[in-house]
Amino acid sequence: MSTSSPSSNADVAEVAALAARLHEISSELHSAGRGPEVDDVAVQQILTAAVQLYVQKRIAEQDLEAFLENTVTATDVSIVTTAMLEAVDLQLFELTLWHGWGRP
């Protein structure tokens, strides 16, 4: 039996709908080179929410690819990963050690 309340089920559905719309809009902005126009805090909120949701899925042992197919380049990942490591004061060496211990 599910322990979720109707409001939490509605919240999950709303996140899915918002994510689909956000993906559509951000793809259009990216294609038009207009990404820098998006408010900094909005970008931080989106990235924070995405990371938190992704981590919860991995901790729940759900095997989930990080990105939709063919949507993110190695350069994109390098830029974001570097910024994320700096934000939490984590060195690449420490990340490598953590990865060697196993990961969710």
Angle among Cα 67, 73, 78 to the nearest 5 degrees reads 95
For 23-27, 65-69, 84-88, 95-99, which range has the lowest pLDDT when averaged over its residues? 95-99
Residues written for the chain: 104
Name the residue among 81, 77, 104 with its Cα closest to residue 91: 81
Given a cut of 50, is residue 6 above it in pLDDT?
A: yes
**Residue 1 pLDDT exceeds 90:** no
pLDDT confidence tier of residue 55, bands split at 50, 70 and 90: very high
Residue 27 has pLDDT above 80, yes or no: yes
pTM of the predicted protein model: 0.80
Interval 59-78 mean pLDDT: 91
- How far apart (Å, rounded) are the C-alpha atoms in residues 14 and 70? 25
For residues 86 and 15, give the distance between their C-alpha atoms in angstroms, rounded to a whole number. 28
Mean pLDDT, residues 49-70 taken together: 91
